[in-house]
Amino acid sequence: MSTPTVETGTTKAAGTPTSAVWHALVGACRANPRAAVMTVLWTALASVPAFLHGKVVARALDDGFLVGDRRTGLTWLALLAATALVAAVGAGKAVKSVAGLVEPFRDHLVEFVVAETLQSATAPDGRPDAGAVARLSQQIETVRGTLGMGILGILAFVAGIGSSMAGQSTLSTDVLIFVVPPVVLSLVIFGCSLPVVVRRERAFILSGEHVAASVTGTMEGLRDIQAAGAAEHIRTGVGDRIDENARLGRAVAAVTAWRLLVVGLGARVPIVLIVLGIPWLLDRGTSPGEIAGSVTYAAAAIAPAMTALTACVSDSIIPLWVTLGRILGAGPTRPAPLPVAPGGTTWRPHPALVEVRLRKVGFAYGPHAEPVLRNLSLTVVPGEHLAVVGPSGIGKSTLVNLICGMLQPGTGTVTVAGTDIGALDPQTRARVRVLIPQEAFVFSGTLGENVRYLRPDATPEMVEWACYAVGLTALRDRLGGLDARIDPTTLSAGERQLIALTRAYLSAAPLAVLDEATCHLDPSAEMMAEQAFAARGGTLIVVAHRMSSALRADRILVLDGATAALGTHDDLLASSALYRDLVGHWQGAPA
């Protein structure tokens, strides 16, 4: 049995929790209750024709045209025309009312982005946020446009379907058996497809942003690229991102087309069923006018409402959801607050950003052994913080060893910064990645020699900051300073981990891999160390020992030996039974 491939986007996912978007949208309504109520009332008024369509047709036929009374038939049709004017007034007023929700919310988002940007730029270790302009000028305007259309579209659908069903109930309840089941089934299938659509749409949008950023960076650095003879390499990298963006676009189009088919069936099947059921309806006492009215409800109210729902979700709701999530959760990536070292230390590590990519990787510890990993594909984007979780012995350390080049995959490829990590010599691998295992290595010698092992030229200022950032200061002082000689056998497992973590933090390697490297630390010390690595820069992969480690990550990879799941904490709680079990186990276990 092969493991399904886990594909990711080509850029860092925002991963804003669904609850955050819901909270923002509900807050917009609560902040302007009058506008919300008036929008609902005006939309309800606009749905009056949906309630009367079939009933008017039935009365016009049964009481008018079919009995030779044209005046009565025309009177009923004139009533329908009059209600159309009322509906037009209601629709116009609803548009004005929804502006009372949208414009204040837009202003709130502007304030939010500006505050976040200023906070990031003025914080310690802060830096200007190049994406702020795009969020202010493009993404907020996208939210502004899609929010109003989305609210009106959803309300119009609910009011239209509700009104037509209510009207049908007053006409002939027998017809409901032909209408309600296909509509409900279509809506259920439609709703179940939405999470897939949102994930694909988010990946597509973020991939597009990454393509734009890659092209912009390439254009700005053309001189250096040409001078270094790196044009072919850059072209290949940008081309891969463009190809990935095209693939994601096709995936979005495919699922959208499938949803259109489902909703189309839900809109048309009731009409077909009513027509096929005419003999049965006539036997049940349903009049010809009532049958015609029922067809009118299905064709003139239900079918347009279903079609409008698809357009509303595709054109408004999904772009709104993804873009608002981007604004709320993908603002400037700010380093976690770190302790300020005495003496005005200003040095900070700034490792390069690298991508880690696994393509259809399989591995077994022998030709006849059961594979530990099967057909695993994964992309860890530059600068991302990924947590890996799963039951003990499921292959987490094997995955780490493959990523670090300590093992060679049986099938597939593992690349770091586009290079086969296993093909590099040990010295080069050490410059590309640093691995901190569960049982940390500390050698006999001075504390300073241990800390500087991966960066012998580190200055006192650099070492000082590394000690403060990771949390080694207290142990350093207790041992007698950096020049104190240490005996590894006298150190606890947690103390050895702190030394190894400080050594890795000081390294210039752009990829840091923590394989339960904080398991012997208490939760507060673990949090301090992991926050330091998250703020260090570069790419970070953590095999989580505690649930808190996973929650600090941008995304989480769940391994269970047969499948692999990837997503945010909220995504996995909704989609992965194993992850829910792990969460429950962690929450119930003592700290």
- What percentage of the chain has pLDDT greater than the value 90? 20
Which segments in the chain show pLDDT lower than 70?
1-20, 119-135, 209-210, 212-238, 329-346, 562, 585-591
Kindly report the pTM of this predicted structure. Answer: 0.49
Residue 84 corresponds to which tokens in the numbers above?
């159309």
Residue 93 and residue 83: Cα distance in Å, rounded?
Answer: 15
Distances (CA, A) of 229 to 226, 233, 238, 239: 5, 9, 16, 17
CB-CB contact of 302 with 269 (8 Å)? no
Q: What is the pLDDT of residue 232?
A: 59
The per-residue pLDDT for range 257-271, each reduced to its tens digit, is 777 777 777 788 898
pLDDT at 241: 72
**pLDDT for position 587:** 54
Measured CA to CA, the distance from residue 505 to residue 516 in angstroms comes to 15
Residue count (the chain): 591
Closest residue by Cα to residue 293 from 281, 284, 309, 304? 281
- Is residue 558 within 8 A of residue 572, CB to CB? The reply is yes
CB atoms within 10 A of CB 327: 22
**Which DSSP helix (H) or strand (E) runs through 570?**
helix 569-575
Q: What is the pLDDT of residues 313-348, one digit of tens each?
A: 878 887 787 778 777 764 444 433 444 455 556 677
Q: What distance in Å separates the CA atoms of residue 42 and residue 36, rounded to the nearest whole number?
A: 10
- Predicted confidence at residue 306, as pLDDT, reads 85
Q: How many CB atoms lie within 10 A of CB 467?
A: 25
Closest CA to 302 of 321, 280, 324, 274: 274
Q: What is the pLDDT of residues 243-293, one digit of tens each?
A: 888 888 888 777 777 777 777 777 888 989 999 999 999 999 999 999 998
